[in-house]
Amino acid sequence: MVGYAFMGRMHSQAWRTVGKFFDLPANIELRALAGRSRGAVEAAAQRMEFASTETDWQALIARDDIDIIDICVPGHLHHDIAIAALEAGKHVLCEKPLATTVAEALEMTAAAVHARTLGVLSMCGFTYRRTPALSLAKRLVDEGRLGTIRQVRAQYLQDWLSDEDAPLTWRLDKTKAGSGSLGDIGAHSIDMAEWVSGQRIIGVSGMLETFVSRRPITGEFSGLGGVGATGSDAPRGPVTVDDAALFTTRLDGGAIGVFEASRFALGHKNAVRLEVNGTLGSIAFDFEDNNTLHYYDATDAEDVQGYHKINVTGPVHPYTGNWWPVGHGLGYEHAFIHQAADFIGAITTNVQPEPSFGDALHVQRVMQAIQDSSDHQSTWTNVSANQEQEN
């Protein structure tokens, strides 16, 4: 694994745990953790139970005792690591968004398509797909229980940046993150809405907004000045990404969609919401109540019509039969464990795991179209799509 901050900790928890609850066709060994600082990576490896460390990701990829490279570093580093790993014959799990630009995502996808011909597989970590309630929602759509899909609406609301004195981090630097709320959380909404509805976005009209244009320079940005300063007295550097994103969409199956992503929505910590409306019914989901799916069946008798609350914890539901008794809910970390189980299953059966790099490239194209629409204040921007060799 490359990277050991928040997402690295989450992925390592998944690798350590997956074999304890899923019958895997292979054993998982945490061989090596890579990071730039020797002392920090060694401490992280001990805590996360990796057997060894590297301070150079190239050295990690060159090792012949490693089969999978798990990429958990900021987006601007994904491209080089993923391509080198694929060319070295390593299977790759890469966190989202796939890259910082469409051009980088195209090159990564081309490398993945070529590697696939050699039996080397890759997947992008849009982990909310592995939330049992959302997986059940997709099943209902696939079974035709909602009829023809007409509308989707998705929100991803957080408030961790609402304090204007919160410090500048790599997530607020376009060169490292690619975009702000759009790529950090809006990308999840795009993938979820498309995956559940079974339709792809083909056009957008978008608006991006940065509410706080300058933030205190501390920590990783201390080289710009202001070491140790905090709050309103600290020197400030520019925020170069969006704080909120609003966009409407048209999908290739005839549906329309409304999306919102914000890291300034006070009172919301991780409100990942999706609603899909069809001709026969609707589903509604909110991750802040993540073990619940609300389902409306329009074919019910009129006197009992209304949203039904489904407690998605039973053995008949996706993934949950591997866990606790009915009614004992799952949490955020479990989706990462499900992701690890699915990835290992795909590798051992030589089946392309989903979402593929090609799927993630499409999300990157949608985000670029939203950025273009906002930049040019245009009413509509088509999503460029040359999907040859993208999956």
pLDDT band for position 278 (cuts 50, 70, 90): very high
pLDDT digits (tens, 9 = 90+) for 96-153: 999 999 999 999 999 999 999 999 999 999 999 999 999 999 999 999 999 999 999 9
- The number of distinct structural domains making up the chain is 2
Whether 375 maps to a domain, the answer reads no
141, 197 in Cβ contact below 8 A?
yes
- Whichever domain contains 320, its CATH number is 3.30.360.10
Q: Do 277 and 320 belong to one domain? A: yes
Asked if the model's pLDDT at residue 389 lies above 60, the reply is: no
Mean pLDDT value across residues 370-381: 92
Q: What is the pLDDT of residue 218?
A: 79
Model-level pTM?
A: 0.94
Q: Map tokens 């790099």 to a residue.
A: 357
Q: Do 124 and 138 belong to one domain? A: no
Whether 374 maps to a domain, the answer reads no
206, 373 in Cβ contact below 8 A?
yes
Q: Do 139 and 264 belong to one domain? A: yes
Q: Do 123 and 149 belong to one domain? A: no
Q: What is the mean pLDDT of the chain?
A: 94
CB within 8 Å of 12: residues ≥ 6 apart: 1, 4, 30, 33, 48, 49, 50
Tell me the sheet residues that pair with 248. Answer: 205, 258
Q: Do 53 and 202 belong to one domain? A: no
Q: What is the pLDDT of residue 388?
A: 45
Supply φ then ψ for residue 309, to 5 degrees: -90, 120
pLDDT band for position 225 (cuts 50, 70, 90): very low
Range of the domain at 73: 6-128
pLDDT band for position 249 (cuts 50, 70, 90): very high
Whether 353 maps to a domain, the answer reads no
Q: Do 300 and 321 belong to one domain? A: yes
pLDDT digits (tens, 9 = 90+) for 144-192: 999 999 999 999 999 999 999 999 999 999 999 999 999 999 999 999 9
Whether 354 maps to a domain, the answer reads no
Whether 356 maps to a domain, the answer reads no
Q: What is the tally of helices (H) and strands (E) in the chain?
A: 11, 16
3 state SS of 182 = helix
382, 376 in Cβ contact below 8 A?
no
Residue 159: burial class (beta carbons within 10 Å; 0-12, 13-18, 19+) = middle
pLDDT digits (tens, 9 = 90+) for 288-321: 999 999 999 999 999 999 999 999 999 999 999 9
Q: Which long-range CB contacts under 8 A does 349-355 form with residues at least 24 apart? A: 349/25, 350/119, 350/121, 352/116, 352/121, 352/391, 353/121, 353/122, 353/123, 354/123, 354/129, 355/123, 355/124, 355/126, 355/129, 355/191, 355/195
Asked if the model's pLDDT at residue 228 lies above 90, the reply is: no
Q: What is the pLDDT of residue 223?
A: 41
Q: Do 56 and 148 belong to one domain? A: no
Number of other CB atoms surrounding residue 288 within 10 Å: 12
Q: Do 251 and 196 belong to one domain? A: yes
CA angle 45/82/177 to nearest 5° reads 85
Q: Do 63 and 155 belong to one domain? A: no
Q: Do 114 and 136 belong to one domain? A: no
Q: What is the pLDDT of residue 74?
A: 95
Q: What is the pLDDT of residue 219?
A: 63
Q: Do 79 and 155 belong to one domain? A: no
Read off the amino acid at residue 186: G
Q: Do 149 and 262 belong to one domain? A: yes
pLDDT digits (tens, 9 = 90+) for 212-223: 999 999 765 444
